[in-house]
Amino acid sequence: MGTKASIQLQEEEIHEIQEETGFSHNQIERLYSRFASLDKNNNGFLSREDFLRIPELAINPLGDRIVHSFFLESNDETVNFRQFMRVLARFRPTKSNHHKNKLNTREEKLKFAFHMYDLDGDDKISRDELLAVLHMMVGDNISEEQLCSIADRTIVEADLDGDKMISFEEFAKVMERVDVEQKMSIRFLH
C-alpha cells in the first residue's frame, strides 16, 4: 500500500547508490530518512513544494535555483530518491586519497554552479541572467547601477570569444583559481 515500509530501500539499491554517488551505507540510510520525512505524500517522490519546506532553502536567496537543480535530471515535477542522491553527490567533499566518483569531480561541481546562473538553460550566461542572479543574491542591498556595473565587468572579463555571453568553458577558465572542491562541499554525517 502507500506506507513508508513499501518504499524502503533494499540492500541492492543501497549498494548501487554507493557505487554511483560515493556515499557510505550509513550516509545513504540517513539521507533516505531525511528524504522520507520530506515526502509528505509518502509516495517515494519529492515535489518542488516539498523542497521549499526545508527552512534553509526557504531563506536562501538562491533557494529556488537550488531546488530547480534537483529537477534538471528528472524532466518531471517530482524527484525520486536516486535523483536526489545524484544531486547531493555533487556536494560530497573530494579527497585526493579517496576514490572520486564522476558526480563530485571539479568539472561536475563547476557545471552545477554554472547552471545556477544559466536561467534559460541555453548553456550560456547572458548579462541579464547574471544580473537576475545578482538581484537574487543581494536583493536591494546594492543599487541597480552597481549591480549593472558588476554584471558588465564580469561579462567583459569572462567573455573570451566576444559574444557577450559566458559559456561553460569561459566560466571554468574564470574559476580556475577558485577552490571549487572546498567551496562546493557539504560535510555529510558518517
* Domain pair 12-89 / 106-183, same fold: yes
Structural domain spans, the chain = 12-89, 106-183
How far apart are alpha carbons 4 and 41 in whole angstroms?
Answer: 10
Range from 35-44, 86-95, 104-113 that averages highest in pLDDT = 35-44
Q: Is it the case that residue 106 has pLDDT exceeding 90?
A: no
Residue 7 pLDDT level (bands cut at 50, 70, 90): low
pLDDT at 95 (0 to 100): 63
Q: Which CATH architecture has domain 12-89?
A: Orthogonal Bundle (1.10)
Span 95-105, pLDDT tens digits: 644 555 777 78
- CATH number of the structural domain 106-183: 1.10.238.10
The reported pTM is: 0.78
Listed as own residue / partner, the contacts of 39-48 with beta carbons closer than 8 Å and 24 or more positions apart are 42/2, 42/3, 42/4, 42/7, 43/2, 43/7, 44/7, 44/80, 44/81, 45/78, 45/79, 45/80, 46/70, 46/78, 46/79, 46/84, 47/77, 47/78, 48/77
What are the grid coordinates assigned to 112, written together? 552545477
Q: Is it the case that residue 174 has pLDDT exceeding 70?
A: yes
